[in-house]
């Protein structure tokens, strides 16, 4: 497994409207945080963009908040 720390930087409505939102996460780095310093060696920069069209899922995200993202092989 590989883990990264990403902060939600942008939320925009999808072009088709409705409940859909595009979420843009950027790799998190705070030079005063030992945790972030360790991540910077593995995830120095990065961007994840996803589209979510589920209101219950969207409620789980807060602009400006950092989230862990885990990558594990599927299947």
Write the CA distances from 3 to 16, 21, 55, 63, integer angstroms.
32, 24, 26, 20
CA quadruple 22, 62, 72, 28: dihedral positive or negative?
positive
Write down the pLDDT at residue 10.
Answer: 97
Please indicate, yes or no, if residue 75 is contained in any of the structural domains. Answer: no
Please indicate, yes or no, if residue 19 is contained in any of the structural domains. Answer: yes
Please indicate, yes or no, if residue 17 is contained in any of the structural domains. Answer: yes
Please indicate, yes or no, if residue 10 is contained in any of the structural domains. Answer: yes
Provide the whole-model pTM.
Answer: 0.80
Helices (H) and strands (E) in the chain, counts: 2, 4
Write down the pLDDT at residue 37.
Answer: 67
pLDDT, tens digit, for every residue of 1-58? 777 889 999 999 988 878 899 999 998 877 777 776 666 565 567 899 999 999 999 9
Is-contact 42 2, C-beta < 8 A?
Answer: yes
Please indicate, yes or no, if residue 48 is contained in any of the structural domains. Answer: yes
């Amino acid at each position: 497994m590989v883990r990264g720390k990403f902060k939600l930087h942008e939320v925009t409505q999808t072009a088709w409207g409705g409940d859909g939102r595009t979420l843009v996460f950027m790799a998190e780095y705070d030079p005063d945080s030992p945790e972030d310093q360790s991540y910077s060696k593995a995830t120095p920069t990065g961007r994840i963009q996803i589209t979510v069209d589920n209101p219950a899922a969207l409620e789980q995200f807060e602009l400006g908040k950092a989230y862990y993202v885990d990558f594990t092989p599927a299947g």
